[in-house]
């Protein structure tokens, strides 16, 4: 069975079917790696000149080897979304639904924390370009959540739509309110979130679950909702 093409191969494919020269493949591989690092550090607004500089090639080489900046960024982001999808698929195969969910959550939050671009994409920064990919990821997360709930490992008073927001909240920047994040801050955040997802003595959640499929969603928050706090036993 044919294996799916990697990012470099997808970018090198042309209509002639000719095999690219070794130096062309090396340059494209360097551009892909540079693009991935640049997207992680600066986001999806990175320029072709910046990627070429990081790869150690001229911008002329960039445009000889890459169809367009948009094509390169799309290929890099597809590669990262493939990694997230693979994490979810492995988690869905775990015989312990809670363990599978936790492993996925850790990988997902790590990628969001380490890559500014991934955080932007998962937040919808690319508009309709990745609609199908994000829909596939939503479906996987829903299955993970509902599987853990069916196994009695996750509280059932939350909606699956709550979980992407909770995982996004666990991803953190380096500073907030002048406080420097710890070296494993996102892991600490995630542990707190996961503890909160476990069945225990809980209070009624305020408001309604998040909406993702309404073309014109309306979010209403009352003062009482904003100030409500849940309580748990230690």
Percent of the chain with pLDDT strictly greater than 70? 76
Based on the domain organization, do 155 and 195 belong to the same domain? yes
Based on the domain organization, do 90 and 189 belong to the same domain? yes
Q: Does residue 41 belong to any structural domain of this protein?
A: yes
Q: Which of 26, 55, 71 is the last residue of a domain?
A: 71
Based on the domain organization, do 93 and 117 belong to the same domain? yes
Q: Does residue 42 belong to any structural domain of this protein?
A: yes
Q: Does residue 151 belong to any structural domain of this protein?
A: yes
Strand segments, DSSP code E, in the chain are 175-176, 179-180
Q: Which of 71, 86, 116 is the last residue of a domain?
A: 71
Based on the domain organization, do 155 and 100 belong to the same domain? yes
Percent of the chain with pLDDT strictly greater than 90? 37
Q: Tokens in use for 54?
A: 């990081």
* 77 close to 130: Cβ distance less than 8 angstroms: yes
Report the pLDDT averaged over residues 22-41.
Answer: 86
Based on the domain organization, do 157 and 60 belong to the same domain? no
Q: Does residue 226 belong to any structural domain of this protein?
A: no
Which of 46-50, 112-116, 119-123, 176-180 is predicted most confidently?
Answer: 46-50
CA 109 to CA 18: how far, in whole Å?
40
Report the pLDDT averaged over residues 146-151.
Answer: 97
Q: What is the DSSP letter of 15?
A: T
Q: Which of 56, 71, 86 is the last residue of a domain?
A: 71
Based on the domain organization, do 21 and 39 belong to the same domain? yes
Q: Does residue 47 belong to any structural domain of this protein?
A: yes
Based on the domain organization, do 94 and 193 belong to the same domain? yes
Q: Does residue 162 belong to any structural domain of this protein?
A: yes
Report the pLDDT averaged over residues 175-200.
Answer: 88
Helix, coil or strand: residue 176: strand
Backbone angles phi, psi at 175, to 5 degrees: -145, 155
With a cut of 90, say whether residue 220 has pLDDT above it. Answer: no
- What residue spans of 13-92 are helical by DSSP H? 22-42, 48-55, 59-65, 69-92
Lowest mean pLDDT segment, chosen from 84-98, 105-119, 131-145, 207-221: 207-221
Which of the four pLDDT bands, split at 50, 70 and 90, describes residue 217?
very low
Radius of gyration of the chain (CA): 21
Structure confidence at residue 3 (pLDDT): 37
Q: Does residue 111 belong to any structural domain of this protein?
A: yes
Which of 38-52, 117-131, 149-163 is predicted most confidently?
Answer: 149-163
Based on the domain organization, do 99 and 191 belong to the same domain? yes
Structure confidence at residue 170 (pLDDT): 92
**What is the pLDDT of the chain when averaged over all its residues?**
81
Q: Does residue 216 belong to any structural domain of this protein?
A: no
Based on the domain organization, do 37 and 143 belong to the same domain? no
Based on the domain organization, do 148 and 66 belong to the same domain? no
Q: Which domain holds residue 99?
A: 78-173+184-199
Structure confidence at residue 232 (pLDDT): 42
Indicate which CATH number applies to the domain containing 23: 1.10.357.10
Domain tally, the chain = 2
pTM as predicted:
0.74
Based on the domain organization, do 98 and 138 belong to the same domain? yes
Based on the domain organization, do 100 and 159 belong to the same domain? yes
> Which carries the bigger pLDDT value, residue 54 or residue 225?
54
Which of the four pLDDT bands, split at 50, 70 and 90, describes residue 200?
confident
């Amino acid at each position: 069975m044919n294996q799916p093409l990697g990012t470099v191969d997808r970018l090198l494919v042309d209509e002639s079917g000719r095999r690219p020269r070794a130096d062309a493949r090396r340059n494209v591989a360097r551009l892909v790696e540079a693009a991935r690092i640049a997207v992680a550090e600066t986001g999806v607004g990175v320029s072709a000149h910046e990627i070429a500089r990081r790869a150690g090639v001229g911008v002329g080489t960039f445009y000889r080897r890459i169809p367009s900046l948009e094509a390169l960024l799309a290929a890099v982001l597809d590669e990262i979304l493939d990694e997230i999808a693979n994490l979810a698929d492995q988690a869905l195969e775990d015989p312990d639904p809670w363990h599978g969910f936790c492993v996925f959550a850790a990988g997902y939050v790590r990628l969001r924390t380490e890559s500014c671009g991934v955080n932007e994409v998962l937040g919808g920064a690319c508009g309709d370009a990745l609609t199908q990919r994000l829909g596939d990821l939503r479906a996987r997360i829903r299955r993970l959540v509902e599987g853990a709930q069916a196994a009695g490992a996750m509280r059932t008073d939350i909606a699956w739509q709550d979980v992407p927001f909770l995982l996004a909240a666990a991803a953190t920047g380096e500073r907030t309110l002048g406080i420097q994040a710890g070296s494993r801050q996102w892991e600490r955040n995630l542990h707190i979130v996961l503890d909160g997802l476990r069945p225990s003595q809980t209070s009624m959640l305020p408001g309604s679950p998040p909406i993702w499929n309404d073309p014109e969603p309306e979010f209403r928050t009352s003062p009482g909702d904003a100030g409500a706090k849940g309580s748990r036993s230690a």
